[in-house]
Structure 1
Amino acid sequence: MQSTARPCSCAELGSSKHFSANQLSCCYGLLYSRSEADLLLSECESKFKYLSKEQSRVKVYGKWHDIPRQQCAYGDPDISYKFSGAMVSSQPWPEFLSIVRDKVSALCGCDFNFVLVNRYKDGIDYMGEHQDNEKGLDPQAPIASLSLGRGRDFVFRHKSVRHRSRHRPADSDNLKIELRHGTLLVMNPPTNNHWYHSLPARKQLLGVRVNMTFRKLKVKLPNATPSSKTLLDPRCS
């Protein structure tokens, strides 16, 4: 699988690449220079308030597990995110993170209202294979992933491969991208409905990595009744 030559939707990213395959569409490139990314990582390390181990457990196949990394979330008022049996409530946006959010939102053409932050202390910490397709997410919005610190491999695997389907579609080979310091990866829909992704352990690697995934969560209309359906915020283009 190779990146195409055509420009991705995030045209302002430095050295941008567009990756496409069977139901996969992603663009990747440099958002912050080395010096800018260094300053931003330093600010993250001093200001982010991570959840305790008890607060950040997930349920997998009926059993609760500690996650192999630190986690916290920031977002608009009264927004929370549920995944793997866990409910993560958002903290108010710090000023520096609001600036990052606005920059990413402008690039993607979407007003993100939530960010999930994961901190990997070294290569031992990892993210297991999963899909970001929870019901609380706006299915028409992209997910934008900002990486700071130690570069790590990010692996996509098509659901037919993971489930060992006999009918494996064409152009569904695994895709690996090294997410480097200061880069942004944008996963456009319907990528997360058809592809799993992971950040495998690399035990020999040293150095902290902080990742921010900006998301658009569904919101309810003001004065909605219990019988009202949850509607999507129309601000996402």
Structure 2
Amino acid sequence: MDRFLQKPAPGVLLGKTGKQKPTRVEAGEDGGMAEKRPRREPPGDTSHQAGLSWRQIRGEGLNCDYTILFGKAEADKIFRELEQDVEYFTGLTLSPKPWLPVLERIRDRVSDVTGQTFNFVLVNRYKDGCDHIGEHRDDERELAPRTPIASVSFGACRDFFFRHKASRGKPGGRLGDTVRLQLAHGSLLMMNHPTNTHWYHSLPVRKKVLAPRVNLTFRKILPKK
């Protein structure tokens, strides 16, 4: 997975990941489980989300909502912008960068349909299905407590797994402790509280996937003291 950085530089943090890991950029303003059938009722404030078909994913401590946020033509255009407006790099250094206009537009659309505000984005690029991320939780101390994380995907459709923390490292695990989604081009996945407390998530290797994918995770970060 490559990291990428906006070309015209200054809020985004860059850094290198290991081999076959995604490239990433961070931008900030201030430096049992059952998958329910799709429904027309969006989470939270319905005044923000008219016309979207939401799928609710619920379980023991699992609270997520999924929808196609961008139509194909608009998603294609955004994907081209993300590919054209960044340069790929390697290295371990971190360097702050400002928001790109395309990132601001995506953030504003997510805020419009969810009623949530975000001041930080992490951008990962997966060059193909060999790029992947292992099981982890987005539980950094800088995250504002109980706030959702919005994950927006462009490019190749990839499998995405949730695994309950109680089943990690145990063969088989409990029935229903793993949930699989397919994150489509132009999709939005809202990971609501307390999902990151109880569930790990991952993007596994899929060698048959030859096309790239770009993922943006919007967060609300507490200001540094």
CA RMSD of aligned residues (A): 2.2
| Cα deviation digits, residues 69-104 of structure 1 (max 9, x gap) | xxxxxxxxxxxxxxxxxxx55410112211111111
Q: How many residues align?
A: 186
* Structure 2 CA distance for aligned equivalents of residues 5 and 14 of structure 1: 10
- Sequence identity (%): 45
| Aligned partner of 2:120 among 114, 123, 126 | 114
Q: Using CA pairs under 8 Å that are at least 6 residues apart, name the structure with larger relative contact order, 1 or 2.
A: 2
Please say if 1:218 is aligned against 2:222.
Answer: yes
Corresponding residue number in structure 1 for 2:4: none
Which TM-score applies when normalising by structure 1? 0.72
| Cα deviation digits, residues 187-236 of structure 1 (max 9, x gap) | 0011001000000010121101000000111114xxxxxxxxx5xxxxxx
Is the 8 Å Cα contact of residues 70 and 186 (structure 2) preserved in structure 1? yes
Which moves more between the two structures, 205-214 or 2-11?
2-11
Q: Alignment partner of 2:167: what SS?
A: helix
Please say if 1:3 is aligned against 2:36.
Answer: yes
Q: Alignment partner of 1:193: what SS?
A: helix
Letter in 1 for 2:86: F
Is the 8 Å Cα contact of residues 38 and 54 (structure 2) preserved in structure 1? no
Q: CA distance change for structure 1 residues 5 and 34 in 2, over 3 Å: closer, same or farther?
A: closer
* Structure 2 CA distance for aligned equivalents of residues 13 and 195 of structure 1: 30
* Structure 2 CA distance for aligned equivalents of residues 98 and 201 of structure 1: 30
* Structure 2 CA distance for aligned equivalents of residues 95 and 5 of structure 1: 32
Q: Alignment partner of 2:140: what SS?
A: coil
Alignment of 1:125-144 (within 5 A): 125-144=131-150
| Aligned partner of 1:92 among 98, 110, 114 | 98
Which TM-score applies when normalising by structure 2? 0.76
Corresponding residue number in structure 2 for 1:66: none
Structure 2: where are the runs of 5+ without partners? 1-33
Letter in 2 for 1:183: S
